[in-house]
Structure 1
Amino acid sequence: MSQDLKSIIDGYKSDEETVYNSWFVNNDERLKAFRTIRRGVFDVIQDIKNGSFGNDFKGSSLEFVLNCITEQKQVFKGASHPFYWKPKLRIPDIYENEENKVAFGQFLEKCINATKEEQIIKEIILLDQRKIKGLGPAVASILYFLHPTIIPPCNTAIVNGFNTLFKDKVKLGSWSDYLRMREIIIEKNDELKSELSNDLGAFAGLLFDVGEKKLLISDDHLSDEERTKIEKKIKKRHKEVVSEMEEEDLHTEMQHRILTIGNSIGYDVIAAANDKSRCHNGNSLSFICVDKFPEIDVDKDTYKTITLIDAIWFEKDSNKITCAFEVEKSTSIYSGILRLTDLYYSFPNNLPSLYLIIPDKREKEVILQLQRPSIKNSDIEIHYILFSDLRKDCDAICKFGEDKDILKKISKVVN
């Protein structure tokens, strides 16, 4: 523990006019803001989905969210400024550029539904890779109210305070710099959280007050060894995220294609409950799926299993399942088969068509699995579709298909 930093924190907590005492502790309005802002973010996502978001910040659901944030004075003063639409500069480019608008909505949806730190950091990295003009780390102030123990807010005063406290040179508009700053904040907060809080608003308030020169400091509290360690950690995690992204993209592409086909030929479609926020080439699965899984007459455990099937087609405006699909890549093919068989035995009088969608190189493995006695000796018929065939014929099936029987043209079955 750095004694010098602890002394600064002690001064921060003892001064009644600091952010810590005026905003962070004993403030019911701060706690209410989390609920209000979270609901507001859901409204932003829904407005972007249904095309009612508009082409300006003024009057939008996003303005409501940012107004709620800026009402949390102190740390969040000016939080809305980066989101004002500046026509001459065309920034932030999320109002008139439809693709960027949808990407922003999908980013928010993935983050609000995230349950792990790694998921949120991955989405930040992917958003940064899009290079949407004018859309930078100011978004972190929104994310803070979704995940206050994971994402610290970011603004000019916080960055200035950080640079002063740690003798650093973080740039305000850089996501990579923000992530590096965040790592240091997390590390130092973990060391001193008994003095502050798991909620990163307390540490952000400290940085804000330093940046606003309400707390004056002079010493460096980050060693060269600590800095090098953090840099290596960030580079390693970035490499892992990119590798994982490539693997997931292939899986999501196939989900998106089969959902698109079902939607195009007249079925209601839905992705696995834990996959709806995924997207392929900027197209989120949730944007082509029905809002919620239809009610089906099965027990609770079976229902949960069925909702994890990668893609399901329903008869239009009904709860009748007509097709179910499991997309396999590096995971166990047999686990997908088990989910399909659970579905099959749940509806003995209304049998859905069952499909595995597989990489070409795993065809032999799939054949072996489908020849298992438990499958081969039953009346279950599971077809499989190769990735290459689905990719090649997707557009034609969407154009010419009339019902689910069109899939027989590209699927295979083990006799």
Structure 2
Amino acid sequence: MSNSNSLPFRDDRIKALTELGEYKDSSLAGFGMRITKSKKTFQVRRKRSGKDIRVKIGEYPAMNLKQAKDKAYKVLSDIENGINPNEQRREHENQAVTLDSVFNAYLASKSLKDKTILGYKQVITCYLKEWQNKPLLKLNEDEVTYIHQQVSKRSQAQADLMARVLRAIFNFAKYEYRGTDDLFIFNENPVKILSHKRQWNHVPRKQTRIRPTELKQYLTAVKQVRDNPEYDRFTRSVCDAVEFALFTGLRKQEVLNIEWQRVNLKAGYFWIDETKNGDPLELPITDTLRKILMRCWSERDETARYVFVSKTAGQAIKEPKFVLKKIANATKHDDNNELIAHWHDLRRTYATLAESIGVGGYTLKRLLNHRIKRSNDVTAGYVVLSADELQEPAKRVEQSILEHAGLIVKEQGIDLKLQELLQGVSEEQKRALIFQLSQSMEQTK
């Protein structure tokens, strides 16, 4: 504030001030007023340790001169004692910040997929609703333990998910909501108490899959539902997507969101831009996948964007569970029990068969689009596997599925075939065969 704007404050003078700018009270150093187009605001402005501190006192005329001056004395005293009222106010605000406010700020700071955001919001509204508008700081270890115990009675998996979301919120709050001198307000994460008390449920991963002996039953059912003239195009498309998933091991959204512009039938590969781990994926088109894609192409609408069409034009399939139920019903006939296979069961089936035929670890991770932690494995940084390198292992997995499903005859090795032929041959006949073979080999030299 310039000296020309310095004057002893009186009510009549303040009321008469209209020119925009800043004014200071000559009778109290640091106390002043800022006038803008819309309001007049009392303020304190002082420098301490090279830092310009500006503190809003209140708006005139809602706050009169005497009230403003009394408050200014307190603020100036705090500043002289090394207390920054702005930081103090920020600390009070951060201490009172609600769970919902921190949660929304957390979501805004992250690049999360819509499905992930929806899942997190469901956790908050279902299990932490009564805490949404309460200060996060009040959510202590005892409260976290109690909530986790109560949710565990309904679902152990959901209880652990709730705790993980809450842990992430507290970790975010620790660095984003600080007190005076940047000291931590959320210094301790109360969710840690679950580890200390060993109260995490640690729900084991599902192990369900389609067993090799069940592949024929399942693929027969898929074909039966797809070829049923009573079902619509959507049902046939889901059946194609299910078969595609079984022969690739891809996640549900990765399959259902495949677009025609990312399929190169001529070159024999397709690619996915948006995957769960964020890494783009290029995979080979095997013979079975080519048949599925050609079948989808023959039925496609000229304007179709996605390979597997939904009931809504121009959109990807959202939820195929009703068709999966039809397939499960179709598996039940004669002496067969109903074979229920969820989408991720198809992925586990593919991975298990790939492992059983000796597909390498790096290759299998790439086929399944599992990220390799290169910080722990230097070699992984040098392994580059495109559709060309993945063609051979993908065909091997395809062949294994087809063999177990009885759709092709299993290729037997020459040594195994010889062993089978020699099982009923006497020792004397074996010697004669060896002699004849050696004679034949001598003549070809």
TM-score tier after normalising by the smaller chain length: under 0.3
Tell which structure's C-alpha radius of gyration is larger: 2
TM-score (ref. length: structure 2): 0.19
TM-score (ref. length: structure 1): 0.20
